[in-house]
Structure 1
Amino acid sequence: MAGSRTRFRRWSLIVLSAAACLALAAAGTGFWSVQRAFPDVEGAVDLPALEGTATVHRDAYGIPQIYADTSEDLFRAQGFVDAQDRFWQMHFNRLTTAGRLSEVFGAEQVETDAYLRTMGWRRVAAQEYALLRPETRAYLDAYAEGVNAYLDRREGGERGLEFTALKALNPDHEVAEWTAVDSLAWLKAMAWDLRGNMQHETERAALLASGIGRDRIEELYPPYPEQEHRPIVEGGVSGGAFHADRDAGAADGDAAPPPRRAAGVLADVGAGLEALPPMLGPESPGLGSNSWVVSGEYTASGRPLLANDPHLGAQMPSVWHQTGLHCTEVTEQCPFDVTGFGFAGLPGVVIGHNADIAWGFTNLGPDVADLYLERIEGQAAVVDGEREPLTTREETVKVAGGEDVTFTVRSTRHGPLLSDAEAAANLRGIGASPPVDSGGDSARKAAEAPGDGYGVALSWTALEPGTTADSIFLLNAADDFASFREAARSFEVPAQNLVYADTDGDIGYQAPGSIPVRGKGDGRWPAPGWDSDYDWRGFIDFDELPVVRNPDRGYIVTANQAAAGSGYEHMLTGDWAYGYRSQRIDTLLAEATRKGGLTTADMAAIQMDNENSGARAVVPHLLRVGAEGAAARGQDLLADWDFQQDADSPAAAFYNAAYSHLLDLTFDELGRDHALDVGSRSWLVVDRLLEEPGSPWWKGGEAEGRDAVLSEALRRAAGELTRRLGDDPAEWRWGELHTLTATHPSLGSSGIAPLEWAFNGTPVEASGGDSTVNATGWEHTEGYAVTTVPSMRMTVDMADLDAARWVDLTGASGHAFHAHHEDQTALWARGETVPMPFTRDAVRERSENVLTLRPAG
């Protein structure tokens, strides 16, 4: 993880000139340089791309609601408005997905570009375009026309303050026209960050190679606690379950390490993958999301309620862009009347509601990506004793201030050889522990394979062209559960949990996505590519994926827990989130439905629940061991703690410090690179270990034995907080440690103060924590600062769509110093929301600015 955080901190001296330009602008002497990039929000603008007039209403938060007579004009207008607000974000994202960061940031980005070119995200996106419905292609093309209409009107720094820096970094860089493929490529970025358990796959292999036995590794990845934490759906196909035999196809006993050269190749690839910059903001092992729907039987309005808050990286601007898209008259030719959250650069609304239905997403998290250790002989891969020729293509990475890098991408039957990307970047021997193979007899096959040429190939569902873009527009126009499911059928990657509610009173859930059916193995360890028994056999049929409609208990909760229970015939994954968030939401909803009369305010209150459910198993043990001084006073705090991690809680501050030190002391042999996270996985692991005082994990470290480790964790926590927060434990505050700074992905971690001041968000204190319902994740090896967040929050009452509420992490604008750059952040931190108007009268009532977009002439 460290690589992704430091990637943009290594700069050449030329950046200093960019910093000087920005410092002048931010100081006020360059106010014109800043303001000239702000969007036009009043009056009229001529756009040659339009066929008719479009109108853009913006409310007090700058959130656009767009009206047009045709679908194509609606998306042309959306493209123009997205570019007005967020073009640097769009441009940086397309440079990333195309593997072109080196063109701007120089040689330090060659490794990233080599990996992304090897996977070929943009190539796959280009292939997808031809597979899409004609209507979808027309919408994507119209959106691109709107973006390009914006580019035709502005140049250089008029498009954003970042382009002033870009001019200093690389004066020869040219901004190309936007295309439909640029939009489709962003779906690959979304799929990459939500791809499932690949990090666990490489990590397990690395730990095995480091000498930790397989049995002990399995203790770090326990089975999902189905009896304690309810799956999403239960019983039958409309509530199936996942098959929990995680060792299918594997032999008993510890897996043997592969040959040294094979382990080295796997090590390089594992480190290279971890160094890739996350697409949806900083990553965290606790990354997840919440959504739920409640039947009208339990609501004040008599109609369903829906709540959603996806958990993604904390970045500036936010991943999301709030938008309303309205055909002036809804017809078969112009079927859109929808409001919600989308991605700048992609037409349509990803999460939201129309006049008939509402829907929300959380990550399903199935295992859709496998690494294959390949036996390479020359330009062929060995499979079942036969040589299969590799397919090849040439890629050239242009490097600002340096020479172009040309390399060959080779692929096996399983996918592109990521090990070739490492060779292309000339970054061998990064120093990670060598990962291993597939957990069983395949490990011994690796050791016995003839010769010494090895590579690592990636099989990933997103590397095959698909039709997810179709699904977005079908969802936007769906009007009942049948059309909702038909739209979900096309949502191939990333596989998601979709929750549903409609104005007729129905609620539902559907798990869509392309999910592989494996031969041997379970996808938890890198597999032997030379044995075709480990190949994928196809994909689970959509009609066999978990689905439920109007369950008897009257509500559905999805929070990345197991999709279903242990009777389902298909293997989805063995690496779920462990269900603490989902069970807490379930508990709160069960209590609320017994009372009835639920409102959107009640849903918002649940979204802000800060209970650390994992602490319930740990605190009794912390209270019974010996402690002195500040540590003993810290124990007094824990004795009265309600387990809520509010920002002003002294007990939450002390507990999280103690827990962080507890993990360091207990799992010291894992090393920093593979440290256990502070969220749900460690909660379950530590819970089990606390009942096993003789476990080897309590031995051999700086403190010997369970109780000694607990006492030392308390002592270290008290010492740390005394140094940082003062001598009086009653004055310690969780929020003073647990702060959020939304960071600009490309310029916000440069180490250059003017750049960071100009582009990053203002720090705010945060409540919650990793794997709480209010999931403000943090990495304990880096401190307590927030890295992942509920990236937005939305609550919808199907009885009154104008009463829906929403909030974004930052604001509508991506422009530094703009009034709407971070005007929602303080609201977000306090758990507040703003009105989400839908009907035309409600939009007009809240409209602060109106912009008319006219066709030329």
Structure 2
Amino acid sequence: MAVLFRWLLRLATAAVVLSVLGIGVAYYLASRSLPDYDKTLSVSGAAAEVEIVRDNSGVPHILAESDADAFFGLGYAHAQDRLWQMIVLRRTAQGRLSEIFGERTVRTDTLLRRLDLYALARQSVQAQDARTTDALRAYAAGVNARITEINTESLGRGAPELFLFDAPMAPWQPADSIALIKLMALQLSAHMSEEVLRARTSWLLDDPDRLADILPDMPGSGVAALPSYASLLPAPLQRHAALPGKEMPRFLAAVPERGLAGASNVWAAAASRSAGGGTLMANDPHLGFTAPSIWYLARLQLQSGGVIGGSIPGIPAIMVGRSENLAWGITSAYMDDQDLHFEEVNPENPEEVRSPEGYVPFRTRKSIIEIKDAAPITITLRWTENGPVLPGSQFNLEDVTPEGHVMSLSWTALSGEDTSASAAVGLMMAQSVEEAIEVSRLYVAPAQNLTLIDDEMVAMKMVGAMPRRDPAHQSRGRLPSPGWLEQNRWQGVMPYSANPEFLAPEGGIVGNTNNKVIDRPFPNHVSFDWGDSQRVQRWQGLMQGRKVHTRDSFIEAQLDTVSPAARTLLPLIGRDLWFTGEAAEEGTPERRRQRALDLLADWNGEMSEHLPEPLIYAAWLRALQDRLIRDELGPLAEDFDHVEPLFIERVFRNVNGAGVWCDVIRSAEVETCSDIARLALDDALLWIAEHHGSALESLRWGDAHAAVHEHPVLGEVPLLRYFVNIRQSTSGGDHTLMRGRTSGKDPAPFQNVHGAGYRGVYDFADPDSSVFINATGQSGHPLSRHYDDLGQLWRRGEYIPMSLDIDLARAASVGITRLVPK
């Protein structure tokens, strides 16, 4: 027995020693790729010395004698801190993820290959102006200088992830940066999914008023009646709409789920509305949370002056920020820049598709997808005159595609002459609002609301190509339509002057929360679907509540957590429940309901992470909407996983008979809306008790509404996920200015998954008092102190200085890198 014990002890000791050695070796290899910020390096590709001063937050301040060398320095800095992120984004755009991740990314690769974004990006290189071409080439040279350094000095392959997912690092090309802009356009475009959902929902709701309830138009006039989807089809279509939608795999998904296709806030005040006498702007673009954030803070010294703000690794531009004379912010415009068409395949020849002139051949090309640990697959890419053909397995297209037809996509980003990169580079060099608006006519996709301030003027201009549709278009772009009919096809794009524009408004303030910005009749309508009907109400009140604003009042608005939806809806749904219950014993459902109603009665709608009321409210509204729509939509109700305040309001105000949703079709009784509200509250309290405990006063919204910045690759790996994911308790919600979009998915439906990865506030009364922040940190390396050092500041609503004063950066630098030409 003693001998056995000694051998077991020896084996256990050996196992511990080997584990420690393994961890040590892994740490050593991973730490080799930690960038050294304090060094001098001889490089190829720079014309003169480039100096990169990293301040205490890891923000690079890049100084160079020419613009080309400044972009070279930005490429080098991006590759130092975010090389793995850049590699994954490039592979996503190329449709080459499966080469390193295997079969689970085949669907994503197949979609990107069919869209052919990378081939279009390569074509678009030739369309750029000279200064952008120089910037793209210099930036690529800077990235490649870092890759060369990694290879020659054995710097741990450049990122720890590359030890786990072995893949060659191909040199960076100018087309790669353009492809990333197109990939961002894909992640910010949602109209295709809305068309499919509207078509599927219309199968179950014969009454157009009921369809308008659950898929409401933004308040305002101008929307006429649409045809039913069935009337557009050449033959009856088997109805699959009773089934829930099939989602894209979450792992490295290139297309976000419904409601997560981009949002943002921006507002600006003229000098007349500023206490300091200078123009002001606040901007916080919203995207899905990742670790690291998609945003990277940087400063460039160009010949036109200093530029500072948020960049996206892989793209040689400051996408949001300011220069010495201009500041710019963006929000998703929600322009309807996508249309689906069902195309008739020739029954006599499957290689032909119907056009206005008769059957014509598909444009086709073979494409091979290499798959790690599996045989490669060959797919045939097919294009019609309207755009690429998408497989029925994507976006639930098979549910709305007639037999003998395929579905194609028209989309402004599918251009081989995409000059969006030239617009981004030109914007950094613009010296005035007028100059910025002029250069931004080069934007193609994604469509954005571009808000601008200079020393004197504030303005907002929608930028991006707007499709020109025939006034006789059968579905007005809201439903898939027959692609062979001339009136359903695009007729080019509208002139830039047709894009909405607001210059120097009389009130001195412009802004956007993804709300409806203009009400024009079709086909000049811009869009029927917008991203916000609630936050804008709160924003209007905060802006008009003060005669003049300051940097701090703009920060206060940016961090505001009061939900106008809660303030509107609670009095409606609880009007027959407040203070009407009879005395009930402790522990009974009636007593829990009374306690919940008492809490909500005294609540002001603030979605604070420390309060219980936001969780009770959110759970109640979620249960209420499900009860209202479940019997009409069946399993399709799963696709409506976020509360639509306009729907709830229409139902409880009985707008156009919307109160009929409260009656359960399959029951003998006629239920009232108060009945459903009471039952839904009991549902919510039961759910809360099961997931968060029954002590209502002890609940914290922040426990349910935690922001999880997940590593896109390692975030689901056991043990590693605790080191690479960043989790933070947060305030806000779906309808607050400090927006924290919830997942809507069980088992954590209120997890914060989408919000402001970047915040910036710019004050031209004192430009160097401007501030900014990103949601995680500058580095993509989990062992770096800059991986998450900005995250806690972001969570608390704090910022870091946004100064162009290089002496301030030097005074608190953590290192200076000098890139010297060979």
Provide TM-score, normalisation by structure 1: 0.86
Q: For the Cα contact (< 8 Å) 1:497–1:510, is it kept in 2?
A: yes
Aligned-pair CA distance for 1:839: 2.4
Aligned to 2:661: 696
The answer to whether structure 1 residue 312 and structure 2 residue 308 are counterparts is no
Q: In 2 relative to 1, CA 579–211 (structure 1 residues): closer, same or farther, beyond 3 Å?
A: closer
Q: State the distance in 2 between where 1:637 and 1:267 align.
A: 38
The answer to whether structure 1 residue 159 and structure 2 residue 131 are counterparts is no
Aligned to 1:527: 481
Q: For the Cα contact (< 8 Å) 1:24–1:30, is it kept in 2?
A: no
Aligned to 1:741: 708
Aligned to 1:442: none
Q: State the distance in 2 between where 1:502 and 1:713 align.
A: 51
- After superposition, residues 373-452 of structure 1 pair within 5 angstroms as 373-377=342-346, 378-384=350-356, 386-419=358-391, 435-436=399-400, 452=403
The answer to whether structure 1 residue 337 and structure 2 residue 306 are counterparts is yes
Q: For 2:277, which of 280, 302, 309 is the aligned residue?
A: 302
CA displacement 1:46-75 (0-9 Å, x = unmatched): 212211111111111111111000111111
Q: Which deviates the most, 667-676 or 174-183?
A: 667-676
Aligned to 2:191: 197
Q: Which deviates the most, 24-33 or 400-409?
A: 24-33
- After superposition, residues 256-275 of structure 1 pair within 5 angstroms as 259=235, 271=246
Residue type of the alignment partner of 2:174: A
CA displacement 1:188-224 (0-9 Å, x = unmatched): 1110111242221111112233566544222212221
Aligned to 1:602: 553
Aligned-pair CA distance for 1:540: 1.4
Q: For 2:756, which of 770, 784, 790 is the aligned residue?
A: 790
Q: In 2 relative to 1, CA 695–89 (structure 1 residues): closer, same or farther, beyond 3 Å?
A: same
Aligned to 2:608: 646
Aligned-pair CA distance for 1:514: 0.5
Q: In 2 relative to 1, CA 287–416 (structure 1 residues): closer, same or farther, beyond 3 Å?
A: closer
Structure 1 vs Structure 2 CA RMSD: 2.8
Aligned-pair CA distance for 1:106: 1.1
Q: In 2 relative to 1, CA 773–280 (structure 1 residues): closer, same or farther, beyond 3 Å?
A: farther
Q: State the distance in 2 between where 1:92 and 1:758 align.
A: 20
Q: For 2:729, which of 743, 747, 765 is the aligned residue?
A: 765
Aligned-pair CA distance for 1:554: 1.0
Aligned to 1:9: none
Structure number with greater Rg is 2
Aligned-pair CA distance for 1:705: 3.4
Q: For 2:574, which of 609, 622, 632 is the aligned residue?
A: 622
Q: For 2:58, which of 51, 62, 65 is the aligned residue?
A: 62
Q: For the Cα contact (< 8 Å) 1:208–1:257, is it kept in 2?
A: no
SS in 2 for 1:463: coil
Residue type of the alignment partner of 2:280: L
Q: Which deviates the most, 180-189 or 579-588?
A: 579-588
Aligned to 1:459: 410
Q: For 2:80, which of 63, 79, 84 is the aligned residue?
A: 84
Q: For the Cα contact (< 8 Å) 2:423–2:441, is it kept in 1?
A: yes
Residue type of the alignment partner of 2:344: R
Aligned to 2:144: 148
Q: In 2 relative to 1, CA 307–560 (structure 1 residues): closer, same or farther, beyond 3 Å?
A: same
The answer to whether structure 1 residue 351 and structure 2 residue 320 are counterparts is yes
Aligned to 1:585: 539
Aligned-pair CA distance for 1:268: 12
Q: State the distance in 1 between where 2:244 and 2:630 align.
A: 24
Residue type of the alignment partner of 2:690: R
CA displacement 1:235-286 (0-9 Å, x = unmatched): xxxxxxxx83354xx547974766467878x999984768795448776358
Residue type of the alignment partner of 1:780: G
Residue type of the alignment partner of 1:463: L
Q: For 2:720, which of 745, 755, 758 is the aligned residue?
A: 755
CA displacement 1:32-54 (0-9 Å, x = unmatched): 12221111111212212211111
Aligned to 1:235: none
Q: For the Cα contact (< 8 Å) 1:294–1:507, is it kept in 2?
A: yes
Q: For the Cα contact (< 8 Å) 1:283–1:787, is it kept in 2?
A: no
Q: In 2 relative to 1, CA 797–463 (structure 1 residues): closer, same or farther, beyond 3 Å?
A: same
Aligned to 2:598: 636
Q: State the distance in 2 between where 1:800 and 1:672 align.
A: 56
Q: For 1:537, which of 491, 496, 501 is the aligned residue?
A: 491
The answer to whether structure 1 residue 492 and structure 2 residue 436 are counterparts is no
Q: State the distance in 2 between where 1:198 and 1:281 align.
A: 12
Q: State the distance in 2 between where 1:435 and 1:283 align.
A: 17
Aligned to 2:102: 106
Q: For the Cα contact (< 8 Å) 1:468–1:490, is it kept in 2?
A: yes
CA displacement 1:19-44 (0-9 Å, x = unmatched): x9x99799556321222111111121
The answer to whether structure 1 residue 781 and structure 2 residue 745 are counterparts is yes
CA displacement 1:86-110 (0-9 Å, x = unmatched): 0000000011100001101112222
Residue type of the alignment partner of 2:119: R
Q: For 2:792, which of 809, 826, 848 is the aligned residue?
A: 826
Q: For the Cα contact (< 8 Å) 2:369–2:376, is it kept in 1?
A: yes
Residue type of the alignment partner of 2:739: A
SS in 1 for 2:528: coil
Q: For the Cα contact (< 8 Å) 2:623–2:683, is it kept in 1?
A: yes
Q: For 1:727, which of 688, 694, 700 is the aligned residue?
A: 694
Q: For the Cα contact (< 8 Å) 1:213–1:254, is it kept in 2?
A: no
Aligned-pair CA distance for 1:583: 2.2
Aligned-pair CA distance for 1:529: 1.1
Q: For the Cα contact (< 8 Å) 1:471–1:490, is it kept in 2?
A: yes
Q: State the distance in 2 between where 1:478 and 1:568 align.
A: 34
Residue type of the alignment partner of 1:159: G
Consecutive unaligned residues in structure 1, runs of 5 or more: 1-19, 168-172, 227-242, 423-427, 438-445, 447-451
Q: In 2 relative to 1, CA 272–629 (structure 1 residues): closer, same or farther, beyond 3 Å?
A: closer
SS in 1 for 2:63: strand
SS in 2 for 1:695: helix
Provide TM-score, normalisation by structure 2: 0.89
Q: Equivalent pairs: percent with the same residue?
A: 28
Q: In 2 relative to 1, CA 628–837 (structure 1 residues): closer, same or farther, beyond 3 Å?
A: same
Aligned-pair CA distance for 1:406: 1.1
Q: For the Cα contact (< 8 Å) 1:813–1:820, is it kept in 2?
A: yes
Q: For the Cα contact (< 8 Å) 1:741–1:760, is it kept in 2?
A: yes
Consecutive unaligned residues in structure 2, runs of 5 or more: 1-15, 582-588
Aligned to 1:209: 203
The answer to whether structure 1 residue 575 and structure 2 residue 529 are counterparts is yes
Q: For 1:244, which of 222, 230, 236 is the aligned residue?
A: 222
Q: State the distance in 1 between where 2:222 and 2:22 align.
A: 56
Q: For the Cα contact (< 8 Å) 2:244–2:636, is it kept in 1?
A: no
